[in-house]
Amino acid sequence: MKYQLLDFWADWCTPCKMMNPIIDKIEKDYPSIQVVRINADEDSAMVQKYNILTVPTYILEKDGEILSFVKGAMPEYRFKKELGLDDLKFGENSTNA
């Protein structure tokens, strides 16, 4: 199964908008990661399921298991480190699953 990156965001959230290009780049560079964008104002079930208290919040999962939980906006290099992408041995244009 593919990894999933859950992206909790909101229309009014400026940091969410700042992170969009980074999320888009991860989606392009890591095809084994499926990005799921969740509007926190519209999907209360997912917000409750993951106990989301702030946006942006990002959760990396594999097979339903949470691998990392990252809150807030940050530079790309730090975001990748916080998610643990280097630890998972993903490479640019990786197809690892």
Catalytic residue among 2, 4, 10, 13: 13
Q: Which CATH number belongs to the domain containing residue 15 in this structure?
A: 3.40.30.10
Residue 14: band (very low, low, confident or very high) from pLDDT cuts 50, 70, 90 = very high
What is the number of domains present in the chain?
Answer: 1
96 within a domain of the structure (yes/no) = no
Asked whether residue 52 is assigned to any structural domain, the reply reads yes
Give catalytic status of residue 16 as yes or no.
yes
In-domain check, residue 25:
yes
Whether 13 sits among the annotated catalytic residues: the reply is yes
Cα–Cα distance for residue pair 62/33, rounded to 1 Å: 9
Which residue range forms the structural domain that includes residue 56? 3-83
Would you state the pLDDT for residue 93? 43
- Catalytic position from the list 16, 47, 55, 83: 16
How far is Cα 2 from Cα 5, in angstroms, rounded to an integer?
A: 10
Residue 93 lies in a domain: no
Q: How far is CA 56 from CA 35, 88, 95, 96, 97, in A?
A: 14, 22, 26, 26, 25
Domain assignment present for 90 = no
Mean pLDDT, rounded, for 29-56: 96
Q: Can you give the pTM of this predicted structure? A: 0.88
Q: What does the pLDDT average to over 56-65?
A: 95
Q: Is residue 92 in some structural domain?
A: no
Residue 97 belongs to a domain: no
Examine residue 69 and state whether it is found in any structural domain, yes or no. yes
